[in-house]
Amino acid sequence: MISKNMEAALNHQIALEGYASQYYLAMASWCDKEGMEGAAEFLHFQSLEEREHMLKLFHYLSEVDGFAITPAIEQPPIEFESVQEVFSLVYEHEKKVTQSINDLVATCYSENDYNTLNFLQWYVEEQREEENQARSILDKIKLIGEGGQSLYYIDKEMKKFLAAALAKEAAAADSEAQ
């Protein structure tokens, strides 16, 4: 049984993850429109990841006799100035999600809710990786610079980031299957 306060806090996290999924989907669409296929593919993948993060919370709430609320999701921005702006916004959003996970962990301690604390460990690690990934992409974009041929190289780099993310996902699925 989960407390009403913790249930509300997890539902808030559901809304945040759901928004991230739509936000990254909007970014994927913009990158596609700008001919940045690699960046678009990466963001489509990331959008699906965020939906999975949201669904994991749904399942957890059901398991502990809570009620997961399907969130209303506000329209995310759909136009961006540049690919650098896109990934700078991804990085900012990931930092916001990390803060929210940290707040949830603090609530677990204040309520002595060790089940939820244990469940959230996965998110703590995931956020460390996602923040690091977003920062690395942004650093790479800044290093390459923007405009003209740079966009071609940035897009190539994005394919490498996607391949690394897919490999990480496959490895995690393998270890879960064992």
Asked whether position 28 contacts ligand FEO by CB under 6 A, the answer is: no
- Both tokens of 5, joined, read 């306060």
For the CB of residue 131, give the shortest distance to ligand FEO in the complex, in Å.
8
Asked whether position 158 contacts ligand FEO by CB under 6 A, the answer is: no
Sites for ligand FEO among residues 72-101 (CB under 6 A): 94, 97
For the CB of residue 20, give the shortest distance to ligand FEO in the complex, in Å.
5
Rounded CA-CA distance 93/101 in Å is 12
- Both tokens of 35, joined, read 């001919």
Determine the size of the site formed for ligand FEO (CB under 6 A).
7
Of 136 and 150, the one with the shorter C-beta distance to ligand FEO is 136
N-term to C-term CA, the chain: 30
Q: Write out the DSSP string of 79-128.
A: --S-HHHHHHHHHHHHHHHHHHHHHHHHHHHHHT-HHHHHHHHHHHHHHH
For the CB of residue 123, give the shortest distance to ligand FEO in the complex, in Å.
7
CA dihedral 172, 27, 40, 163 (to 10 degrees): -20
Nearest residue (beta carbon) to ligand FEO:
53
Asked whether position 50 contacts ligand FEO by CB under 6 A, the answer is: yes
CA dihedral 12, 89, 72, 64 (to 10 degrees): -30
* Binding-site member from 10, 20, 137, 154 for ligand FEO (CB under 6 A): 20
Of 7 and 94, the one with the shorter C-beta distance to ligand FEO is 94
Residues that bind ligand FEO (CB under 6 A): 17, 20, 50, 53, 94, 97, 130
